[in-house]
Amino acid sequence: MLIGEYQHSLDAKGRLFIPAKFRDDLGDKFVIARGVGNCLFGMSLKEWDNFSQKLRLQPVTDVQVQKFVRVVFAGATDCEPDKQGRVVIPANLREIAGLEKDVVIIGVMSRIEIWNKDAWEAYNESVNEDYDNMISKMAELGI
């Protein structure tokens, strides 16, 4: 299970160090794609396949689903960390997530999320203000 929060920096070549703990779960090769909100998702090939299978079950006539599929899959990239544990984040994905220098990588159960540090801090601040409502929602869901 992917959990935790790590801060790293993009280098001049757009490479990002992926913590060993995350690399162990993601595998030797994994996929990075546009996420939900202002972040990128990183998934093992197995999780990416599970995600893809769910999308394959959706009707091709559902315009919103097809927009999502096109945008996410067109920008997705296969990653293979180098010997130092770094992966290249393509320019198009760096732009989507606003990644410049300081980056936060978080574990979210079956995926990692890659955030611009300032965007992550702003997101956390807004979420903290709504924490009681989130707890109520979890109770409604029986969690």
CA distance 5 to 3: 7
CA distance 80 to 3: 21
CA torsion angle 57 61 62 64 (round to 10): 120
The amino acid at 130: D
Beta bridge partners of 42: 32, 112
Residue 53's CB is within 10 A of a number of other CB atoms, namely 9
pLDDT of residue 37 exceeding 90: no
pLDDT digits (tens, 9 = 90+) for 50-81: 999 999 999 999 999 999 999 999 999 999 99
Span 5-117: which CATH code? 3.40.1550.20
Q: Which residue bears the tokens 């919103």?
A: 64
Domain ranges of the chain: 5-117
pLDDT of residue 135 exceeding 90: no
Which of the 8 DSSP states describes residue 143? -
